[in-house]
Amino acid sequence: MNLLNLTRSGLLDYTVGQIAHFFPDGRNTSVRTRIDAHLDEALSRLHKCINAVRLWQANEFNYLHSTQYCIYLYYLSNTIWRSTSDIEVCTKLFLLNKTLNGIDMFYEIAMPEKFFIGHSVGIVLAKATFSDYLVLYQNSTVGKNAGIAPVLERGVIMYPNTAIIGLSHVQANTVISQGVGIVNRNTPGNVMVFQGSDGNLLFKEIKKDFIQEFFRL
């Protein structure tokens, strides 16, 4: 993958420099060592994600593209967590992502290989079950209720100000309209979900596969 306007070593310097700026505890050497050891694997995961997204140029990572950088920071933190369980470095990367991009995407969350974030501000994600071809827009929330997290199948699209909470199973190819909250409810697949005036959910069947609008299949 081509790193635009930055070498691998430059990206390492840039990432470590940001952490040092926001968390000036003098522990930069250990942070650099840990990130350097796992940077290539994180970039490989990012590469697959970028190449899946139709709106993005394939095989290119722009560190100044805020959404791509947001996903990079998640993959980096999650890669380090999966390999080492290093809470300190992972937490700094998580907090850096939260500071820069306004997103709460914890390093322990198992995000899918292929997903897209339209705008990251206000997104909050619990440790739910996520699947490929997930689309998230600003102020979307996936959260637990009474300790139970939702299940999202392949191709779920969450437009702005939407929520999936608790004991909810959202089946494949579900589009959640702006402002809709799904709380302890299931949805059938191949539907667009609207909020009814009586508080119930309204399902409109869709014949179209919305995944193809966002992703290269």
Tens of pLDDT, residue by residue over 203-214, are 999 988 889 999
Task: Decide if pLDDT at 198 tops 90.
Answer: no
Calculate the average pLDDT of the chain: 96
In this predicted structure, what is the pLDDT of residue 178?
97
Are the C-beta atoms of residues 114 and 71 closer than 8 Å to each other? Answer: no
Tens of pLDDT, residue by residue over 95-143, are 999 999 999 999 999 999 999 999 999 999 999 999 999 999 999 999 9
Look up the pTM and report it.
Answer: 0.96
3-state secondary structure 195-212: ECCCCCEEEEECCCCCHH
Task: Decide if pLDDT at 196 tops 90.
Answer: no
In this predicted structure, what is the pLDDT of residue 36?
98
Q: Domains for the chain: give ranges and CATH numbers.
A: 2-102 (no CATH), 115-214 (2.160.10.10)
Task: Decide if pLDDT at 199 tops 90.
Answer: no
Give the DSSP letter string of the chain.
-EETT--HHHHHHHHHHHHHHHS-SS-HHHHHHHHHHHHHHHHHHHHHHHHHBTTS-TTEE-TTSHHHHHHHHHHHHHHHHHHH--HHHHHHHHHHHHHHH--EE-TTS---SSEEES--TT-EE-S-B--SSEEE-TT-EEE-BTTB--EE-TTEEE-TT-EEESS-EE-SSEEE-TT-EEES-EE-SSEEEEE-TTS-EEEEE--S-THHHHB--
In this predicted structure, what is the pLDDT of residue 193?
97
Please state, in angstroms and rounded to a whole number, the distance separating the CA atoms of residues 50 and 65.
12
